Amino acid sequence: MTVEIGKQIKKLREEQEISQQELADYLTISRQTISKWELGKSLPDIENVVRIADYFNISVDVLIGRKKASFFESLFGGKERRQSLMDQSSKATNNAAFYSAYAPEIQPLFAANKRVNTFIKIEAAIFPQATFSKLMGYANCLCSFNSDEVSIDQIGKFKLAVNIPVEQPIASFSLHEILEINLQFGKYFRNVGGNFVTLIDIVTPDKTYYFWVESLKIAHAIWHHEKFSSIKLNLDKPFQKALNLSNEDEAVTAIRSEADKIQLFYGKV
């Protein structure tokens, strides 16, 4: 597969008159990395495989050489889709690391100010209410609020198509060091469906940590938990009325009812 995917990247790039540097700029990697892929000296990770397929408007199966592009994909796929992606990239609205669950290391994602998929744990409660999955990743990051301490840890490492559990500290600081927390909502669409997410920015004097959580309940939990009563919480006004509802399920329903006001976080409607 190493040779096939490299050949496919080069073939698609040359057919559409894209330079190695242009593709590298879109993926925010070096031109040398693209060259190594095309020469079969290394492989792109899962996140980049998906992004390259999106860039050229083809399926992952086509990219890795498991099937050929259809006539219509060959004829129409490419420039229009690519320009749309480049426009989205230039806006950098959320800088989402949507496939962070597939990343071997997430420290570089934080270093690059990427928005990382995470579980959030507040004392004993965890959001979303699911367990870490070894197979094809759920979030592999955990942000915990325990007593007056905040810890961010990598809890999985993607390798050979599975997420292997690990315990790797990323950062830790006092709750009192948080200057503010920004809450927003987003919606995403994938081939298998869509959902709503909560976007959370934790701002400290040294760094801002950008997260996304596949849960709306976490926003209600943060908004109402006494632990965050001394922290400045920022939320778009249209959703303040919904989060002020004391009942969690009613609050989530109210947020979902305002779907037209929720920006697209990932994917294409």
Q: What is the pLDDT of residues 214-226, one digit of tens each?
A: 899 999 999 999 9
Q: Domain tally for the chain?
A: 2
Same-domain status, 130 and 60: no
Same-domain status, 39 and 118: no
pLDDT range class, residue 175, cuts 50, 70, 90 = very high
Same-domain status, 127 and 191: yes
Specify the 3-state DSSP secondary structure of 103: coil
Same-domain status, 25 and 110: no
Same-domain status, 224 and 117: yes
Domain holding 146, by residue range, is 106-264
pLDDT range class, residue 143, cuts 50, 70, 90 = very high
pLDDT at 229 over 80: yes
Residues with Cβ within 8 Å of residue 225, at least 6 apart in sequence? 122
Same-domain status, 223 and 122: yes
3-state secondary structure labels for all residues of 10-23: HHHHHHCCCCHHHH
pLDDT at 169 over 60: yes
Query: What tens digit of pLDDT does each residue of 30-70 get?
Result: 888 899 999 988 888 887 888 888 788 788 878 877 655 44
CA-angle at 107, arms to 6 and 99, nearest 5°: 50
Is 83 a member of any domain? no
